[in-house]
Amino acid sequence: MNNQVFWNPVLETLPRETLQQLQLKKFKRIFAWAFTHSKFHRSIYDAAGITPDDIKSLEDIKRIPKVEKSMMRGIQCKDPFPYGDALCVPLEEVSTFRQTSGTTGQPVYQADTWQDWEWWSECWSYVLWSQGYRAKDRVFIPFGYNIFVAFWAGHYAAEKLGCEVVPGGVLDTQSRILKIQELRTTAMMATPTYILRMADVAKNKMGIDRASLSINRITCAGEPGAGIPSTKKRMEDAWGAKVFDHSGATEIGAWSFECESQPCGMHVNEAMFLVEIEDLDTGGIIEEPGKKGKMIITALDRMAQPCIRFDSKDVIEWDSEPCSCGRSFRLIKGGVIGRSDDITKVKGVLLSPGAIEEVVRSINGLGDEFEIVVDKQGDVDRIKLKVELLPGTPRTSIENKLKDRLRLKTNLGYLIEYYDYGSLPRYEVKSKRFKDLRKKSMSEKECRL
Ligand SMILES: [Zn+2]
């Protein structure tokens, strides 16, 4: 088993046509299940005049209404409490409560049965196996085990693979680093922000040499960092480890993974999820590689609170090349590029915070932290970029390089503010480095109305 390349050698290498037949079969099953068991789903499908009998091909799926997060917020706290009528099973079958982090508004509750938890850990098993986790690994998980799904299912999947799991829950950063050192753990899962933060604390606060830490593989999730080449390089250099990307979500599941071939992108687990990419302007479905759009996703096997054509707001694009690892699951290029909420127009040009991150992290002499603030000066948009200089780095040595690379990458000019190392906010889980103050003033206005 440990020499096996794939977690599921049959499903991960299915010819595309067979894979699509499987997706259609599973989609019909989950759609009929929700149609029959969820009043919420039934009402939106009735309004659109669609029944399970109408779905005969993948093409037919495009007509099915999408589900937005705001719709899920609208039904919760109603019966069956607290999930509302998207729940497809009796309440007594629910075994786990989770909620979304609420970064974009009121958190959404998520019910899972024991069967759904088995499914979660199966999804994560694909992720970990493809990244080289095996039974010999001792895996450290430095996250606050709580109401957020984060690495819970990663924990169970690592156990399922036979790894030895060290739950690094209620420990501070320094204690976690000491535990990694003491137990010689070989692998770790955390957000890119926290991976960099831990490396910073180990080196600059504790004087610990990375050679004394034996982490050789790291799985990142929660933010796009491991898909941004310069951020990934910083993490790999700081830990002397291979860093892999993964993306999942509370309402969706663990839908993607970067494999050991590190193809600068992630595989979609197409045996368990159906991913469609929607054009941001036309609303049509993008089939071809190289065009960015927003991900609409279906979890094909999740039963208690189904995820059917969910509007994830993640911006992705198909890769034109297959992966050298041999999996037939399609790749998305560069991972999740950003959130459609965050990709905004500044002076008429599309701005992605990920592009700025890529530039900042590519410059030696700048710290890992930065902050982007977009506001208006009079009627004109302005982007303020706050960066930190590492000790001993003269500002003059990087000023022009930073400006030039930003202009080249994003076609925009910036007001750059330089700070001493250690002065910008530090984050333990997900960062809040992008602020669009123009949006805030708009929503304040909307509230008043
Ligand atoms: Zn691959």
Render pLDDT for 132-155 as a digit per residue (tens, 0 to 9): 999 999 999 999 999 999 999 999
How remote is the CA of residue 51 from the centroid of ligand 1, in Å? Answer: 37
Residue 251: the pLDDT is 95
How remote is the CA of residue 385 from the centroid of ligand 1, in Å? Answer: 35
What the block records as the tokens of 346 is 């500044």
Residue 440: the pLDDT is 57
Strands 164-167 and 94-99: unpaired
What the block records as the tokens of 435 is 């602020």
How remote is the CA of residue 259 from the centroid of ligand 1, in Å? Answer: 5
Closest alpha carbon to 110 in 76, 71, 144:
76
How remote is the CA of residue 395 from the centroid of ligand 1, in Å? Answer: 41
The segments of the chain whose pLDDT lies below 50 read 441-449
Cβ–Cβ < 8 Å for 81, 34: no
Residues 6+ apart with CB under 8 A from 47: 65
Question: Measured in whole angstroms, how far is the alpha carbon of residue 332 from the centre of its chain?
Answer: 13
Residue 104: the pLDDT is 67
Cβ–Cβ < 8 Å for 84, 93: no
Closest alpha carbon to 315 in 331, 299, 287, 291:
291
How remote is the CA of residue 237 from the centroid of ligand 1, in Å? Answer: 22
How remote is the CA of residue 327 from the centroid of ligand 1, in Å? Answer: 6
Residue 349: the pLDDT is 82
Residue 373: the pLDDT is 93
**How many residues are present in the chain?**
449
Cβ–Cβ < 8 Å for 120, 253: yes
Closest alpha carbon to 304 in 124, 122, 115:
115
How remote is the CA of residue 233 from the centroid of ligand 1, in Å? Answer: 19
In one letter, which amino acid is 20? Q
How remote is the CA of residue 266 from the centroid of ligand 1, in Å? Answer: 8
How remote is the CA of residue 153 from the centroid of ligand 1, in Å? Answer: 22
What residues pack around ion ligand 1 (CB closer than 5 A)? 259, 261, 323, 325, 327
How remote is the CA of residue 263 from the centroid of ligand 1, in Å? Answer: 6
Strands 293-299 and 310-316: antiparallel
Strand partners, 345: 350
Residue 260: the pLDDT is 97
How remote is the CA of residue 221 from the centroid of ligand 1, in Å? Answer: 17
